[in-house]
Chains A and B, each alone.
Chain A
Amino acid sequence: MTSGSRPARGGELRVDLLLIADMIEPGARILDVGCGDGALLRHLARAKKVDGRGIELSQAGVNACVARGLSVVQGDADTDLVNYPMDSFDYVVLSQTLQLVRRPRDVIDQLLRIGRECLISIPNFGHWKVRWKLALTGRMPVTEVLDRQWYDTPNAHFCTIKDFELLCGDLGIGIERRIPVDKQGHRMAIAGLLVNLFAEQGVFVLSRRNDGRDRAPDGERRRRRERRCAGAPPGGSGPR
């Protein structure tokens, strides 16, 4: 999960993370899964006064986060998300991490159980360069976004943007927004079938559609929120 939130050169936030940060409301409760060195969490704490938490697989990443005052635990998205209670966060972020996990389907399920919305970015294996390299050379493509050889990559599950959307459909997950992004993380002005061909990454905002299972009674939700408020310091770092 180390690829999560590496800062861009000069310590500025990576462009695709800025894109995600822009979609988060001030004061929200957020969980960054695969938070890397905590660049996004730091940015959000400063710019949006969020109550941020993180999970990171690499010990070096975790230690760097905690040494910067962030609330981060060492953990594995595949095994540790089950511990969080339902609806514990307004947003759960999974940035450039889904392809690293062993069971992406279960992870997505968990993300939307514990968060109201899920902000997720994935590398697009359907990009034309990937298709072109595979077709032309007959070898596993190495691109700027997918920059490792097949034997050397930590990535376990590649998918195309189309694949991902089909999975969301199967899981009954609502895609609130889909933002095609280039390799630097800039938003691309393309739509329709072009997205799966020309976007190097996809940023999605997911929400639960078939909920039945995901709604605690209103009274219970309110009680939980009040409890969080009681524990939160003044100054709005608790839930809105």
Chain B
Amino acid sequence: MRSTQRYDEAVAGVGVGHTAELGLDAPLTLDCGVDLGPFAVAYQTYGELNEDRSNLILVCHALTGDQFVTGANPITGKEGWWPFMVGPGLPFDTDRYFVVCANVLGGCMGTEGPKSVNPRTGKPYGLSFPVITIKDMVRAQAMLLDRLGIEKIFCVCGGSMGGMQALQWAVTYPERVHAAIPIGSAAHHTAQNIALHEVGRQAIMGDADWRDGDYVSHGAIPRTGLSVARMAAHISYLSEAAMHRKFGRQLQDRNSVSYGFGADFQVESYLRHQGTVFVERFDANSYLYLTRAMDYFDLVKEYDGVLADAFEGCPTRFCLISFTGDWLFPTPESRKIVHALNAAAANVSFVEIDSDKGHDAFLLDEPEMFETIRGFLMGAAEHWSGGTP
């Protein structure tokens, strides 16, 4: 329960790092038509902003990530989610770059989301929170950068849902983005992606403790539903090879099967643990909203079926990265983006990295990914007129 307490403190604005109150003068008009504002955006920074404000790397987190990219996460007590990438001497070298990561709109780590208190009612939004899109998240980040007084982004980078944001950034604000690195991402969510998310949402909404989204008022948490959602999702982040290597058919603390439905297998025990831990740090409604945002993401449709039109005239330098073992956002999805960028005569690099670690590979120690990113940033810096990153 200790971590739940930490979580609640986070929502109350304690221990979430920096928080900016945005949309005070003019609200953010969301894709769904609702005006949001004022609203909070929680963010973390690493490294120093240089004098000409030209060394920003904006990191966009994935579905269940947060602003605590590296170092200790004060809410979970665990290490940040990208310790291999961000830090002194690492690809996003904090001796050189100013790294910013903001909790996404609709999130639950201090940025405005369904668990935030609606100032008009004094109660948590729950399902009355407007539906958020990837573009809304990006617009909110743009407002944060305006607040920080940073016009140009040297590089925006993210994996999975973070990659969607990186793409959306380059499409929506091409003149602000010098370089973009979408990793393990896609221009739209596939039917399979949506289907997997729907399983998770149904698990949450089918939990009696969800209370039509109003569980906070009832002092409840849809633990089982959220935990099952996480378990299903977690499978999609791994690969058969990775699961086999890690667990095989090994039994958990027993020598033979129990002829029952306990966690006989290690993989069952592992998934249950992942589900339980997740409930302690993540809000169930937030999970609904963020998965929905990913499902709605469709740059192809936004540009009437011609993805290349999304990048028409885009000056951003792109580096797309995919992993051979990622079946959730497989290489062909990245390749579609590469083809569209080529068709728009945009500057693009594309690297597929050999890894059997599944979708999660982008979060792991993948030396080839780091070399790729170092090289790409070096090339991007040579063509950067914004200053000295």
Query: Which residues does A use to contact B, with CB under 8 Å?
Result: 53, 59, 62-63, 65-75, 80, 83-85, 88, 224, 227-228, 230-235, 237
Contacts and interface: CB of A to CB of B under 8 A. Distances in A.
B82 interface: no
A75 B352 CA distance: 11
Given A70-B379, A73-B338, A88-B345, 6 more contacts: A66-B376, A71-B347, A73-B350, A230-B315, A233-B384, A233-B385
Given A66-B375, A67-B371, A59 B347 contact: no
B371 A84 contact: no
B348 A73 contact: yes
A71 B349 contact: yes
B74 to A, nearest CB: 35
Nearest to A223: B313
Contact of A84 (B315, B342, B368, B372): B342
Contact of B368 (A63, A88, A231, A235): A63
Given A80-B339, A227-B313, A231-B315, A70 B349 contact: yes
A58 to B, nearest CB: 11
Contacts of B365: none
B319 A84 contact: no
Contact of A234 (B315, B376, B385): B385
Contacts of B338: 73, 75
B372 A63 contact: yes
19 contacts: A53-B347, A59-B351, A63-B351, A63-B368, A63-B371, A66-B319, A66-B351, A66-B372, A67-B374, A69-B380, A70-B349, A71-B379, A73-B350, A84-B342, A84-B343, A84-B345, A88-B345, A231-B313, A231-B315
A77 B374 CA distance: 27
A230 B353 CA distance: 33
Contacts of A65: 349
B342 A73 contact: yes
A233 B383 contact: yes
A148 to B, nearest CB: 25
B53 interface: no
A69 B345 CA distance: 18
A231 B314 contact: yes
Contact of A71 (B317, B339, B343): B317
B378 A69 contact: yes
Nearest to A59: B352
Contacts, number: 82
B79 interface: no
Contacts of B52: none
B382 interface: yes
B351 A62 contact: yes
B48 interface: no
A83 B343 contact: yes
B354 interface: yes
A50 B379 CA distance: 13
A234 B385 CA distance: 7
Task: State the main secondary structure of chain B at its contact with A.
Answer: mixed
Contact of A237 (B314, B344, B354, B383): B383
A75 B350 CA distance: 9
A59 B354 contact: yes
Contacts of A53: 347-348
What size tier do the contact residues of chain B reach? 20 to 34
Contact of A62 (B317, B344, B350, B379): B350
A8 B132 CA distance: 55
Interface string B314-353: 1101010000000000000000001110111101111111
A140 B351 CA distance: 37
Contacts of B347: 53, 71, 231
A89 to B, nearest CB: 9
Contacts of B345: 84-85, 88, 224, 228
Contacts of B368: 63
B334 to A, nearest CB: 10
Nearest to B312: A227
A73 B374 CA distance: 16
Contact of A72 (B315, B349, B382, B383): B349
Contacts of B379: 68-71
B350 A69 contact: no
Contacts of B319: 66
| Residue in B340, B368, B380 whose Cβ sees the most chain A Cβ within 10 Å | B368
A53 B345 CA distance: 10
Contact of A74 (B351, B380, B383, B384): B351
A68 B378 CA distance: 8
Nearest to A68: B375
Contacts of A66: 319, 349, 351, 372, 375-376
B376 to A, nearest CB: 6
Nearest 5 Cβ contacts at the A-B interface? A69-B379, A231-B315, A67-B375, A73-B350, A69-B378
A41 B368 CA distance: 21
A99 to B, nearest CB: 24
| Residue in B313, B353, B374, B385 whose Cβ sees the most chain A Cβ within 10 Å | B313
Contacts of B343: 83-85
A71 B342 CA distance: 11
Contacts of B378: 68-69
A85 B342 CA distance: 8
B279 to A, nearest CB: 39
Contacts of A62: 350-352
Nearest to B321: A66
B240 to A, nearest CB: 21
B342 A83 contact: yes
| Residue in A59, A73, A85 whose Cβ sees the most chain B Cβ within 10 Å | A73
Nearest to B382: A69
